[in-house]
Amino acid sequence: MTHPLQGGVAVITGAASGFGLEACVRAHALGMRIVMADVQADALDHAAANLREAGAQVLPLRLDVADGAAVDALAAQTRERFGAPNFVFNNAGVGCGGLVWEHGAKDWDWVLGVNVMGVAHGVRAFVPMMLEAAKADPAWRGHVANTASMAGLLTPPNMGVYNASKAAVVSLTETLHHDLSLVSTQVHAHLLCPYFVPTGISRSERNRPADLQDAAAAPTRSQLIAQAMSEKAVGSGKVTAAEVIEKLFDAMAQGRFYVYSHPQALAGVRVRAEDQVLGRNPSDPFAERPEIGERLRRQLAGG
Ligand SMILES: NC(=O)c1ccc[n+]([C@@H]2O[C@H](COP(=O)([O-])OP(=O)(O)OC[C@H]3O[C@@H](n4cnc5c(N)ncnc54)[C@H](O)[C@@H]3O)[C@@H](O)[C@H]2O)c1
């Protein structure tokens, strides 16, 4: 069966690495024209050159998704070059970890700026254009996919800023689904919630803008522990980014909203929902693997 995005137009943020790059590869396989947005110029140039060599029609644009005016310009350039996109993948994101009270204001600004406002700007800049295209042509279809995380559905300790940012993306995207269904049957929302998958995410600091770096503050013990844990968990993930993107494209073809890389991790989501509904205190996140919780406590205490 032909994929509904076959031959369409894609806008992908965070296109130079990880899930975004795999989405570009998949979009090219479907003959889509691709607007590639990313903040990291060298990686973007490299990725765009490889895709062009493979015969793809791409428009690489370097921008920071936290910058609303830059995302407006991205939308204007997309419209001018290719018309309304059939697929908008608000995927660019960054990670940071540590005890939640140890983060400075710049950490919050950076992570919420990219992970939350980046998605908000993508929705605000592209959805009206997509609805307009849908209105003009009953056969036109559009898909907006936002990358959250299992961290948006769970509250793993020692990564509160990231959790908060991804919970916002879950809420925003579920609401987008409801809002779209009030006005259209042709434009659909999808929520990607990956668990640990090997990509560049644990090296997010490489793209932190200078004005959002706190040069005076050395990383705290909890932040160093979080960094080491993230490198290990992400680096040892067995599911690949390409496999996750395949699931996303299948979900778009089949009209499914939630896309999970590791459905087995959903047991924790059920426990959390039951805690909330029953008014029970939050369950121990390490109940299944108490040794991990004990090690974390020991490390935080300096052992
Ligand atoms: N890999 C995982 O284990 C995992 C798990 C859950 C969620 N995620 C989410 O997946 C998404 C993609 O990350 P990834 O894992 O592919 O990591 P990645 O680092 O390989 O890719 C992220 C891309 O986003 C770009 N980027 C960073 N800040 C940007 C900004 N301000 N503006 C534009 N582009 C920017 C980076 O340059 C990079 O190319 C993120 O939202 C991340 O939070 C990843």
SS (H, E, C) 222-240: HHHHHHHHHHHHHHCCCCC
Amino acid letter at 182? L
The alpha carbon of 215 and the centre of ligand 1 are apart by a number of angstroms equal to 23
- CA 186 to each of CA 102, 122, 147, 183, 189: distance values in angstroms, whole numbers, following the listed order: 45, 18, 21, 9, 10
pLDDT value, residue 8: 98
pLDDT tens, residue order, the chain (303 aa): 899 999 999 999 999 999 999 999 999 999 999 999 999 999 999 999 999 999 999 999 999 999 999 999 999 999 999 999 999 999 999 999 999 999 999 999 999 999 999 999 999 999 999 999 999 999 999 999 999 999 999 999 999 999 999 999 999 999 999 999 999 999 999 999 999 999 999 999 999 999 999 877 899 999 999 999 999 999 999 999 999 999 999 999 999 999 999 999 999 999 999 999 999 999 999 999 999 999 999 999 997
Name the DSSP letter for residue 116. Answer: I
Copy the structure tokens of residue 300. 């935080």
For ligand 1, whether the C-beta of 149 sits within 6 Å is yes
pTM to 2 decimals? 0.98
pLDDT value, residue 190: 99
The alpha carbon of 291 and the centre of ligand 1 are apart by a number of angstroms equal to 30
* First vs last C-alpha separation in the chain: 57
Helices marked H in the chain — which ranges?
18-29, 41-53, 68-82, 105-112, 118-136, 160-183, 221-235, 241-254, 266-278, 290-300
Copy the structure tokens of residue 29. 């396989």
| Ligand 1 atom showing the smallest separation from residue 94 Cα | 43
For ligand 1, whether the C-beta of 98 sits within 6 Å is no
| Ligand 1 atom showing the smallest separation from residue 237 Cα | 3
Classify residue 240 as exposed, middle or buried by CB count within 10 Å of its CB (0-12, 13-18, 19+): middle
For ligand 1, whether the C-beta of 92 sits within 6 Å is yes
The alpha carbon of 92 and the centre of ligand 1 are apart by a number of angstroms equal to 5
Q: Alpha-carbon distance 265 to 285, whole Å? A: 12
pLDDT value, residue 241: 98
For ligand 1, whether the C-beta of 158 sits within 6 Å is no
Take atom 23 of ligand 1 and give the residue whose Cα is closest: 14
Q: Alpha-carbon distance 153 to 283, whole Å? A: 14
Spatial neighbors of 107 by CB under 8 A, at least 6 apart, are 96, 161, 214
Q: Alpha-carbon distance 173 to 189, whole Å? A: 7
CB atoms closer than 10 angstroms to residue 237: 18
- Assess whether 162 carries a catalytic annotation: yes
Q: Alpha-carbon distance 209 to 211, whole Å? A: 6
The alpha carbon of 112 and the centre of ligand 1 are apart by a number of angstroms equal to 13
